[in-house]
Structure 1
Amino acid sequence: MLRSIERAQDSIQLESYIFADDIVGQAFCRALIERARSGVKVKVHIDAAGSLFWFSRKMQNYMRDNGVELRWFHRWSWRRPWRYNHRNHRKLLIVDNRIAYLGGFNIHKENSCKHYGEARWRDTHVSFDGSLVSVAAQLFDAFWHGKLRSQPLQKAEGSKLLHNQTLSCRHRLRCVYGEAFWKAKKFIYLTTPYFVPDNHTLRQLCKAAERGVDVRLLVPRKTDVRIARWAARHIYALLLESGVKIYEYLPRVLHAKTVVTDDHWSMVGTSNLDYRSLFTNYELNLVTINQELASKLKQQFIEDLSLSECISLNDWKKRDGLSRWQGRVAMILKRWL
């Protein structure tokens, strides 16, 4: 992404949930400013809650003083306090309307092998070009101007960029997940860092396993949000009894958000499989029938499984009382996770 920014000639549009004033964020800051000084139109849209304790006023002023247009998404307002709960969780970069990047990567050192070493987060980000870049730019501009449910026209078939709240469907990604699970014939390989689905999505996943689909769920053992892990573990038994295979990724924090079904359909983007992503936050996912991407995501999933522990139903039923209590508490708060 930095290389693309450094080569920009006309425009840079960047959205990030977290933009940290650390060694990685500072590198992005310098690159954005250098391009702005060269006459490139640079727009940066940062979520006010996601970056609250990461970004700094010094970096904000430095960017603005050097030609970068910077906006905060949904800052706290006493007039409209309820909107603070609705966050822009998207991570999107568009350069020169030529290439775009989308996925789980925030702008912070935790995603950098160079600066965080082997403990860096395991994440998935994709780049794409062609007509979808124009769609991404339209989605960025819509958010920039406060049109949060705008959805550009796209081809009926092929690859699409989907966000979860549009004028025609308030919970679009929930419908996409459910349809993908319902249509799957051979396998569903699902990776998510926070697994707190609504009952409908959970039932669709269980029904797929019950009709013989190979359903595998990969979640992290190490996490940055413990209560979300407690909630996920509370529903392990139901999934395991339905035939879903659950794996916990061991080496480091897992932050990837991907789905692959039947070798031809895949989805990658910013949404977790939890209540906030499905119903509250603003997300953006790439949905495609590109078999090459599906093959690469499948291969990565299988590699991740080799570094994971498979959870068995018998062992899970023997877990201690504290784990059970944590799960019950977390499920009370599931709609906020």
Structure 2
Amino acid sequence: MEKFYHFLTLASLVLYWVLVAGVTLRVVLKRRAVSVSLAWLMVIYIIPVVGVACYFLFGELNLGRKRADRAKEMLAPFIDWFSKLSNCHAHSPENFGRHIYRIDELCNNRLGLPALSGNELSLQNSPETIMRSVIEDINQAHHSIRMVFYIWHPGGLADEVANALILAAHRGVDIKLLLDSAGSPRFFRSDWVAKMQSAGIKVVQALEVSPWRIFLRRLDLRQHRKIIVIDEKVAYTGSMNMVDPAFFKQDSGVGHWIDIMVRVTGPTVNVLSAIHCWDWEVETGERAFPSIPECKIDEHSSKHPIQVVPSGPGMPEYLIYQVLTLAINQANQSVRITTPYFVPSTDLLETLKMTAQRGINVELIIPHKNDSLMVQWASKAFYSELMLAGVKIYEFYGGLLHTKSVVIDEQFCLVGTVNMDMRSLWLNFEVTLAIDDQEFTQQMYQLQNEYIAQSHTVSLETWRERSIFSRFLERTFYLFNPLL
């Protein structure tokens, strides 16, 4: 018996090291950033067994065979639909500003998706305003409502939105609701699902979390978009999930979540509707395109061009990351960024440093406290390097600053669902709006000023005096960059 146990132990060790060798070879051969590969090798070798398991769960972009095949087949038909927009009156590159012109070129060449003029935008920055506006538009719906959210958390104003949807369904409005499984567990455990379904609302879990799927696809690949489209006439997108902050994560110790949404009318609404159609088909296999917008523009009205930039498995790789770096590289005076999660790739870090070193005023506004301690400490690992390059860093004390925004030269902005981390820029289903509208951008810039007024400026001299323990935590969590 002793020889048997000795043999079993030896065989287990051999099997483990063969597995480690195989995973190591996989990491080395996989084409990606060197820093990411090195970080994964560190995780695999420093944390026995668990490191290998983490790589299987989170190490590669694996959507699952059925969804991956479906997404691959969908790309050509969607590019064909997007390409039809280039021929409409709303696509007028000759009237675009310099910031959006190159972004239109990039998105058009990679996805067939053009920037479109003729939109009206409203920046909404309080939960009460956002929810009441959404409810009012739902109450006016006649034909269809399309929604996709990462989190739907029952309680407060979110329940009022749910009731408005049920009433709309009783009026005969066709409603499709797509919610991320990992982000909305309380919703799917609540009685709202049965209430909505009995009213005729189609409710679907995106990327369902299940023990049976644990090794079939990457678990931290999430449906992170936030989109509402009503009658293909009104749309919303931005950073806010379907939550009432007064009822959400009250025990997390970070305060209320601070968010924005953008209400849009005009031809961009149909593009956001098409993004919802993409997500719905990836999950259900059901195809339905929105109508092609009329794209009639009054020559005397403001143009307000918007480029919708989606990303995620099946779509052209790293498109939002490319748009972000292109926008930053075009800056002539200033770049101001707000993000709750700041764990940039090496390339993005170098872009920010180089921009500051060009003499551009680069400002970064992030929350002082974060709901993810790992991200909070990993973010701080970049402070010294950024400040030495000339980047100004503000830590926001008014809650969890969840707004995702980039303002360039006070003339052009990016707003949407995208965090400044590798998960958002390289992995999740995300969407951002590139907005070439100086009036709207000024509103966004003034809101950022309000954030700075509630922030503390991080000084390099004070930062250098932080404790050895803090430095240790920063570097430790920085090494886990691939998992953040």
Q: 1:29 aligns with which of 162, 167, 174?
A: 162
- For the 8 Å contact 1:260–1:267, the answer to whether it is kept is yes
- For the 8 Å contact 1:166–1:172, the answer to whether it is kept is no
Q: Which amino acid aligns with 2:259?
A: D
Cα separation, partners in 2 of 1:13 and 1:145, compared to 1, 3 Å: same
Cα separation, partners in 2 of 1:232 and 1:54, compared to 1, 3 Å: farther
Deviation at residue 299 of structure 1 after TM alignment? 0.9
Secondary structure, in 3 states, of the residue corresponding to 1:35? helix
Aligned to 2:146: 13
Cα separation, partners in 2 of 1:274 and 1:264, compared to 1, 3 Å: same
Aligned to 2:55: none
Q: Which amino acid aligns with 2:342?
A: F
CA distance in 1, matches of 2:147, 2:219: 21
CA distance in 2, matches of 1:325, 1:59: 45
Aligned to 1:141: 277
CA distance in 2, matches of 1:245, 1:275: 22
Q: Which amino acid aligns with 2:223?
A: N
Secondary structure, in 3 states, of the residue corresponding to 2:401? coil
Deviation track 1:36-84 (CA, whole Å, cap 9, x = no partner) reads 0110001100000111245424221111111111111011353563243
Aligned to 1:211: 358
Q: Which amino acid aligns with 1:213?
A: I
Q: 2:179 aligns with which of 31, 43, 46?
A: 46
Tell me which protein shows more helix as a share of its residues: 2
Q: 1:266 aligns with which of 384, 391, 413?
A: 413
Q: 1:312 aligns with which of 428, 436, 459?
A: 459
Q: 2:268 aligns with which of 117, 132, 151?
A: 132
Q: Which moved more, 1:74-83 or 1:223-232?
A: 74-83
Secondary structure, in 3 states, of the residue corresponding to 1:82? coil
- 1:95 correspondence with 2:95: no
CA distance in 2, matches of 1:107, 1:84: 22
Secondary structure, in 3 states, of the residue corresponding to 1:178? helix
Deviation track 1:137-159 (CA, whole Å, cap 9, x = no partner) reads 111011101189x999999x931
Aligned to 2:310: 163
CA distance in 1, matches of 2:209, 2:339: 29
- 1:62 correspondence with 2:195: yes
Deviation track 1:75-95 (CA, whole Å, cap 9, x = no partner) reads 135356324321110111111
TM-score normalised to structure 2 length: 0.65
TM-score normalised to structure 1 length: 0.92
Q: How many percent of aligned residue pairs carry the same amino acid?
A: 31
Q: 1:321 aligns with which of 450, 468, 484?
A: 468
Secondary structure, in 3 states, of the residue corresponding to 2:451? helix
CA distance in 1, matches of 2:353, 2:157: 40
Cα separation, partners in 2 of 1:279 and 1:66, compared to 1, 3 Å: same
Aligned residue-pair number: 333
Structure 1: stretches of 5+ with no match in the other structure: none
Deviation track 1:84-110 (CA, whole Å, cap 9, x = no partner) reads 321110111111101100001111121
- For the 8 Å contact 2:207–2:283, the answer to whether it is kept is no
CA distance in 2, matches of 1:209, 1:216: 9
Deviation at residue 176 of structure 1 after TM alignment? 1.1
- 1:239 correspondence with 2:374: no
- For the 8 Å contact 2:187–2:193, the answer to whether it is kept is no
Cα separation, partners in 2 of 1:111 and 1:259, compared to 1, 3 Å: farther
Structure 2: stretches of 5+ with no match in the other structure: 1-133, 296-303
Deviation track 1:118-143 (CA, whole Å, cap 9, x = no partner) reads x5322121111100001111110111
CA distance in 1, matches of 2:187, 2:146: 20
Larger-Rg structure: 2
Cα separation, partners in 2 of 1:255 and 1:33, compared to 1, 3 Å: same
Aligned to 1:178: 325
CA distance in 1, matches of 2:355, 2:311: 23
Deviation at residue 19 of structure 1 after TM alignment? 0.5
Q: Which moved more, 1:32-41 or 1:168-177?
A: 168-177
CA distance in 2, matches of 1:83, 1:323: 32
Cα separation, partners in 2 of 1:168 and 1:256, compared to 1, 3 Å: closer
- 1:279 correspondence with 2:426: yes
Deviation at residue 259 of structure 1 after TM alignment? 0.3
- 1:121 correspondence with 2:254: no
Deviation track 1:312-334 (CA, whole Å, cap 9, x = no partner) reads 11111111122212212211221
Q: Which amino acid aligns with 2:181?
A: A
Aligned to 1:223: 370
- 1:3 correspondence with 2:154: no
Secondary structure, in 3 states, of the residue corresponding to 1:276? helix
- For the 8 Å contact 2:223–2:429, the answer to whether it is kept is yes
Cα separation, partners in 2 of 1:242 and 1:49, compared to 1, 3 Å: same
CA distance in 2, matches of 1:306, 1:85: 35
Cα separation, partners in 2 of 1:282 and 1:209, compared to 1, 3 Å: same
